[in-house]
Amino acid sequence: MIRNVLSIELKSEKLNATLANVGAADWLNVNDDVSALDVRLTLKTDDGEFIHVEYQGRSDPTTGSSPRHQHFKPAAKNING
């Protein structure tokens, strides 16, 4: 199952960003034992920098548990400064 990510808005004291383009989506692979989620997108900050975001997770349909692993990768060195 593939779903488009239509919008994202991130607001904090140090960072404000929105979805950079419409090329973002999440994939959900489902079988009897586990469902695997894979989401990838790019954020654009208010000052024009880009952040690549990926997160994955697995869901056990019998328990409903869904641990996730997030990975944020700045496109520019000064984004963390």
pLDDT in tens, 19-76: 988 667 777 777 777 778 788 888 899 999 888 888 777 777 677 666 665 555 666 5
Question: For the chain, what are the domain ranges?
Answer: 2-80
**Distance of alpha carbon 63 from alpha carbon 48, whole angstroms:** 42
The three state secondary structure string of the chain is CEEECCCCEEECCCCEEEECCCCCEEEEEECCCCEEEEEEEEEEECCCCEEEEEEEEEECCCCCCCCEEEEEEECCHHHHC
Q: Which CATH number fits domain 2-80: 1.10.1370.30, 2.40.160.20, 3.40.50.300, 3.30.70.100?
A: 2.40.160.20
For the whole model, what pTM was predicted? 0.65
| Beta bridge mates, 43 | 19, 51
